[in-house]
Amino acid sequence: MRRRRRSRADRITSLALLVVLLGVLFPFIWMIVGSISPRWDAGWFNPLTEKPSWSNYADLFGVMPFGRYLFNSAVVAAVVTLGNVLLCFPVGYALARRRFRGRGLLYGAAALVLMVPQYVLIVPLFALIHGLGWYDTLWAITIPLLVHPLGVLLVKGAVSTVPIEVEEAARLDGAGPWRIVYRIVMPICRPTLAVLAVQVFWLTWNAFLFPFILTGDRARTLPVALAMFRGYQGVDRPHLFAAATLATLPVIVVFLFFQRQIISGLTAGAVKR
Protein backbone atom coordinates (compact mmCIF):
# COMPACT_ATOMS: atom_id res chain seq x y z
CA MET A 1 0.00 0.00 0.00
CA ARG A 2 2.80 2.34 0.87
CA ARG A 3 4.33 1.53 -2.47
CA ARG A 4 1.29 2.57 -4.51
CA ARG A 5 0.97 5.87 -2.69
CA ARG A 6 4.61 6.66 -3.30
CA SER A 7 4.41 5.96 -7.00
CA ARG A 8 1.46 8.33 -7.42
CA ALA A 9 3.39 11.05 -5.61
CA ASP A 10 6.26 10.33 -7.95
CA ARG A 11 4.05 10.72 -10.99
CA ILE A 12 2.80 14.08 -9.77
CA THR A 13 6.38 15.15 -9.05
CA SER A 14 7.44 14.08 -12.54
CA LEU A 15 4.66 16.05 -14.15
CA ALA A 16 5.41 19.15 -12.10
CA LEU A 17 9.11 18.85 -12.90
CA LEU A 18 8.34 18.52 -16.60
CA VAL A 19 6.43 21.80 -16.56
CA VAL A 20 9.23 23.54 -14.67
CA LEU A 21 11.82 22.07 -17.02
CA LEU A 22 10.04 23.44 -20.08
CA GLY A 23 10.11 26.86 -18.45
CA VAL A 24 13.81 26.47 -17.66
CA LEU A 25 14.65 25.42 -21.20
CA PHE A 26 12.48 28.07 -22.86
CA PRO A 27 15.32 30.60 -23.37
CA PHE A 28 17.34 27.90 -25.16
CA ILE A 29 14.42 26.86 -27.33
CA TRP A 30 13.85 30.50 -28.17
CA MET A 31 17.54 30.98 -28.96
CA ILE A 32 17.62 28.02 -31.37
CA VAL A 33 14.31 28.86 -33.05
CA GLY A 34 15.40 32.48 -33.27
CA SER A 35 18.67 31.42 -34.91
CA ILE A 36 16.86 29.89 -37.89
CA SER A 37 14.31 32.65 -38.19
CA PRO A 38 14.03 34.02 -41.74
CA ARG A 39 13.16 37.55 -40.58
CA TRP A 40 15.84 39.79 -39.17
CA ASP A 41 13.69 41.30 -36.45
CA ALA A 42 11.98 38.11 -35.31
CA GLY A 43 12.73 35.94 -32.37
CA TRP A 44 9.93 33.52 -33.21
CA PHE A 45 8.39 32.35 -36.43
CA ASN A 46 5.75 29.92 -37.50
CA PRO A 47 7.44 26.85 -39.02
CA LEU A 48 4.16 25.88 -40.72
CA THR A 49 3.99 28.98 -42.88
CA GLU A 50 7.61 30.06 -43.06
CA LYS A 51 10.71 28.15 -44.02
CA PRO A 52 13.54 28.06 -41.45
CA SER A 53 16.55 29.91 -42.70
CA TRP A 54 19.65 27.88 -41.99
CA SER A 55 21.69 30.39 -43.93
CA ASN A 56 21.89 32.55 -40.79
CA TYR A 57 24.69 30.25 -39.68
CA ALA A 58 26.59 30.53 -42.94
CA ASP A 59 26.05 34.30 -43.01
CA LEU A 60 27.88 34.67 -39.71
CA PHE A 61 31.19 34.14 -41.41
CA GLY A 62 30.42 37.04 -43.74
CA VAL A 63 29.15 39.70 -41.33
CA MET A 64 32.00 39.33 -38.85
CA PRO A 65 35.29 37.42 -38.58
CA PHE A 66 33.37 34.59 -36.97
CA GLY A 67 35.71 31.87 -38.23
CA ARG A 68 38.61 33.52 -36.45
CA TYR A 69 36.72 33.78 -33.16
CA LEU A 70 35.71 30.13 -33.40
CA PHE A 71 39.31 29.18 -34.16
CA ASN A 72 40.64 31.25 -31.25
CA SER A 73 38.17 29.70 -28.81
CA ALA A 74 38.96 26.19 -30.01
CA VAL A 75 42.75 26.64 -29.86
CA VAL A 76 42.69 28.27 -26.43
CA ALA A 77 40.34 25.68 -24.94
CA ALA A 78 42.34 22.78 -26.40
CA VAL A 79 45.77 24.09 -25.40
CA VAL A 80 44.70 25.14 -21.90
CA THR A 81 42.98 21.79 -21.29
CA LEU A 82 45.91 19.72 -22.53
CA GLY A 83 48.41 21.95 -20.73
CA ASN A 84 46.60 21.58 -17.43
CA VAL A 85 46.49 17.80 -17.68
CA LEU A 86 50.19 17.51 -18.58
CA LEU A 87 51.57 20.25 -16.32
CA CYS A 88 49.40 19.98 -13.20
CA PHE A 89 50.29 16.35 -12.96
CA PRO A 90 54.02 16.56 -12.07
CA VAL A 91 53.27 19.42 -9.66
CA GLY A 92 50.50 17.57 -7.85
CA TYR A 93 52.68 14.48 -7.84
CA ALA A 94 55.63 16.31 -6.28
CA LEU A 95 53.37 17.85 -3.63
CA ALA A 96 51.97 14.45 -2.74
CA ARG A 97 55.12 12.35 -2.85
CA ARG A 98 58.27 14.39 -2.49
CA ARG A 99 59.66 16.27 0.45
CA PHE A 100 61.52 19.34 -0.68
CA ARG A 101 62.17 22.85 0.52
CA GLY A 102 59.25 25.14 -0.29
CA ARG A 103 56.72 22.32 -0.53
CA GLY A 104 54.50 23.75 2.20
CA LEU A 105 54.80 27.19 0.66
CA LEU A 106 53.72 25.93 -2.76
CA TYR A 107 50.83 24.00 -1.32
CA GLY A 108 49.68 27.07 0.57
CA ALA A 109 50.10 29.17 -2.57
CA ALA A 110 47.84 26.83 -4.55
CA ALA A 111 45.12 27.15 -1.94
CA LEU A 112 45.56 30.93 -1.59
CA VAL A 113 45.52 31.63 -5.32
CA LEU A 114 42.15 29.88 -5.53
CA MET A 115 40.81 32.41 -3.04
CA VAL A 116 42.03 35.58 -4.78
CA PRO A 117 39.20 36.93 -6.92
CA GLN A 118 40.08 37.42 -10.58
CA TYR A 119 39.07 41.06 -10.66
CA VAL A 120 41.86 41.99 -8.21
CA LEU A 121 44.36 40.97 -10.88
CA ILE A 122 42.82 42.49 -14.00
CA VAL A 123 44.65 45.83 -13.92
CA PRO A 124 48.19 44.49 -13.27
CA LEU A 125 47.67 41.48 -15.53
CA PHE A 126 46.66 43.85 -18.31
CA ALA A 127 49.82 45.90 -17.70
CA LEU A 128 52.00 42.79 -17.56
CA ILE A 129 50.60 41.31 -20.78
CA HIS A 130 51.12 44.68 -22.47
CA GLY A 131 54.69 44.78 -21.18
CA LEU A 132 55.39 41.32 -22.59
CA GLY A 133 54.04 42.43 -25.96
CA TRP A 134 51.36 39.75 -25.72
CA TYR A 135 48.31 41.99 -25.81
CA ASP A 136 45.74 40.69 -28.31
CA THR A 137 47.65 37.46 -28.96
CA LEU A 138 46.66 33.92 -28.10
CA TRP A 139 49.69 33.73 -25.76
CA ALA A 140 47.98 36.21 -23.45
CA ILE A 141 44.96 34.01 -22.83
CA THR A 142 46.63 30.59 -22.78
CA ILE A 143 49.99 30.79 -20.98
CA PRO A 144 48.74 32.33 -17.68
CA LEU A 145 46.09 29.61 -17.40
CA LEU A 146 48.23 26.60 -18.25
CA VAL A 147 48.59 25.35 -14.68
CA HIS A 148 45.42 25.92 -12.73
CA PRO A 149 45.79 25.61 -8.93
CA LEU A 150 42.57 23.61 -8.87
CA GLY A 151 44.28 20.97 -11.02
CA VAL A 152 47.33 20.89 -8.77
CA LEU A 153 45.17 20.22 -5.72
CA LEU A 154 43.04 17.62 -7.53
CA VAL A 155 46.12 15.72 -8.71
CA LYS A 156 47.73 15.87 -5.28
CA GLY A 157 44.65 14.22 -3.80
CA ALA A 158 44.57 11.53 -6.45
CA VAL A 159 48.28 10.67 -6.24
CA SER A 160 48.04 10.33 -2.45
CA THR A 161 45.68 7.38 -2.94
CA VAL A 162 48.06 5.48 -5.24
CA PRO A 163 49.97 2.83 -3.24
CA ILE A 164 53.65 3.74 -2.94
CA GLU A 165 54.58 0.10 -3.67
CA VAL A 166 53.68 0.63 -7.34
CA GLU A 167 56.39 3.23 -7.64
CA GLU A 168 58.93 1.27 -5.66
CA ALA A 169 58.47 -1.73 -7.94
CA ALA A 170 58.97 0.47 -11.00
CA ARG A 171 62.08 2.02 -9.46
CA LEU A 172 63.54 -1.41 -8.77
CA ASP A 173 62.98 -2.19 -12.43
CA GLY A 174 65.15 0.81 -13.25
CA ALA A 175 62.54 3.40 -14.24
CA GLY A 176 63.65 7.04 -13.92
CA PRO A 177 61.58 9.76 -12.20
CA TRP A 178 59.93 11.10 -15.38
CA ARG A 179 59.02 7.63 -16.50
CA ILE A 180 57.51 6.92 -13.10
CA VAL A 181 55.47 10.12 -13.13
CA TYR A 182 54.14 10.03 -16.67
CA ARG A 183 54.11 6.31 -17.46
CA ILE A 184 53.35 4.64 -14.14
CA VAL A 185 51.42 6.98 -11.83
CA MET A 186 49.64 9.19 -14.37
CA PRO A 187 47.68 6.35 -16.05
CA ILE A 188 46.46 5.20 -12.65
CA CYS A 189 45.06 8.69 -12.00
CA ARG A 190 43.19 8.80 -15.30
CA PRO A 191 39.70 9.31 -13.77
CA THR A 192 40.87 12.41 -11.88
CA LEU A 193 42.56 13.76 -15.00
CA ALA A 194 39.33 13.30 -16.94
CA VAL A 195 37.49 15.33 -14.30
CA LEU A 196 40.17 18.00 -14.48
CA ALA A 197 40.13 18.09 -18.29
CA VAL A 198 36.39 18.57 -18.72
CA GLN A 199 36.26 21.09 -15.91
CA VAL A 200 39.08 23.17 -17.40
CA PHE A 201 37.58 22.91 -20.89
CA TRP A 202 34.24 24.16 -19.61
CA LEU A 203 35.77 27.06 -17.67
CA THR A 204 38.03 28.09 -20.54
CA TRP A 205 35.44 27.86 -23.30
CA ASN A 206 32.98 30.00 -21.34
CA ALA A 207 35.51 32.44 -19.83
CA PHE A 208 34.83 36.13 -20.25
CA LEU A 209 36.74 38.45 -17.90
CA PHE A 210 40.39 37.60 -18.72
CA PRO A 211 39.92 37.19 -22.50
CA PHE A 212 37.90 40.40 -22.52
CA ILE A 213 40.62 42.39 -20.75
CA LEU A 214 43.58 40.84 -22.57
CA THR A 215 42.46 40.76 -26.20
CA GLY A 216 41.49 43.25 -28.86
CA ASP A 217 39.85 42.17 -32.08
CA ARG A 218 42.44 39.66 -33.33
CA ALA A 219 42.69 37.18 -30.47
CA ARG A 220 39.08 37.57 -29.35
CA THR A 221 37.25 34.42 -28.25
CA LEU A 222 33.61 33.63 -28.97
CA PRO A 223 32.07 34.83 -25.69
CA VAL A 224 33.96 38.13 -25.92
CA ALA A 225 32.93 38.55 -29.56
CA LEU A 226 29.31 37.90 -28.60
CA ALA A 227 29.47 40.53 -25.87
CA MET A 228 30.89 43.00 -28.39
CA PHE A 229 28.40 42.27 -31.16
CA ARG A 230 27.06 45.80 -31.11
CA GLY A 231 30.20 46.92 -32.88
CA TYR A 232 29.34 44.98 -36.02
CA GLN A 233 27.01 46.34 -38.63
CA GLY A 234 24.53 43.82 -39.91
CA VAL A 235 24.50 41.56 -36.85
CA ASP A 236 20.81 41.27 -36.09
CA ARG A 237 18.98 39.00 -33.73
CA PRO A 238 18.86 35.79 -35.84
CA HIS A 239 22.58 36.05 -36.54
CA LEU A 240 23.36 36.82 -32.94
CA PHE A 241 21.35 33.81 -31.80
CA ALA A 242 23.04 31.61 -34.40
CA ALA A 243 26.42 32.68 -32.98
CA ALA A 244 25.19 32.09 -29.43
CA THR A 245 23.97 28.62 -30.40
CA LEU A 246 27.34 27.75 -31.90
CA ALA A 247 29.06 29.00 -28.74
CA THR A 248 26.86 26.72 -26.64
CA LEU A 249 27.03 23.56 -28.73
CA PRO A 250 30.56 22.33 -27.81
CA VAL A 251 29.80 22.54 -24.10
CA ILE A 252 26.57 20.58 -24.51
CA VAL A 253 28.37 17.92 -26.57
CA VAL A 254 31.17 17.63 -24.02
CA PHE A 255 28.60 17.38 -21.26
CA LEU A 256 26.69 14.58 -22.98
CA PHE A 257 29.91 12.59 -23.39
CA PHE A 258 31.43 13.31 -19.98
CA GLN A 259 28.41 13.79 -17.71
CA ARG A 260 29.86 11.86 -14.81
CA GLN A 261 33.23 13.66 -14.93
CA ILE A 262 31.63 17.08 -15.14
CA ILE A 263 29.35 16.38 -12.21
CA SER A 264 32.10 15.04 -10.00
CA GLY A 265 34.30 17.98 -10.99
CA LEU A 266 31.64 20.50 -10.05
CA THR A 267 30.71 18.84 -6.80
CA ALA A 268 34.30 18.14 -5.70
CA GLY A 269 34.71 19.76 -2.31
CA ALA A 270 31.00 20.12 -1.67
CA VAL A 271 30.56 16.84 0.11
CA LYS A 272 32.81 15.39 2.74
CA ARG A 273 33.92 12.03 1.44
Under a CB-based contact definition with an 8 Å cutoff, are residues 189 and 162 in contact?
A: yes
- Element (H or E) spanning 161, and its range? none
Q: With CB under 8 A as the contact rule, which of the stretches 51-59, 64-72, 189-197, 221-229 interacts with other proteins? A: 221-229
Q: Does 240 bind other proteins (CB under 8 A)?
A: yes
Of 99, 133, 187, 231, the residue at the interface with other proteins (CB under 8 A) is 99
Site string for other proteins, 22-51 (x = CB under 8 A): --xxxxx-xx--x--------xx-------
Q: Does 235 bind other proteins (CB under 8 A)?
A: no
- Is 4 or 101 the residue whose CB approaches other proteins more closely? 101
Of 109, 179, 191, 260, the residue at the interface with other proteins (CB under 8 A) is 109
Contacts of 137 (CB under 8 A, 6+ apart): 218, 219
Q: Which residue in 192, 213, 253, 221 sits closest to 77, CA to CA?
A: 221
Distance from C-alpha of 203 to C-alpha of 201, rounded to nearest angstrom: 6
Helices (H) and strands (E) in the chain, counts: 15, 0
- The interface with other proteins within residues 143-182 (CB under 8 A) comprises 143-144, 146-147, 149, 152, 160-161, 164, 171, 177, 181
Q: Does 55 bind other proteins (CB under 8 A)?
A: no
Of 123, 191, 218, 234, the residue at the interface with other proteins (CB under 8 A) is 123
Of 80, 189, 195, 247, the residue at the interface with other proteins (CB under 8 A) is 247
Q: Does 184 bind other proteins (CB under 8 A)?
A: no
Q: Which residue in 196, 247, 224 sits closest to 81, CA to CA?
A: 196
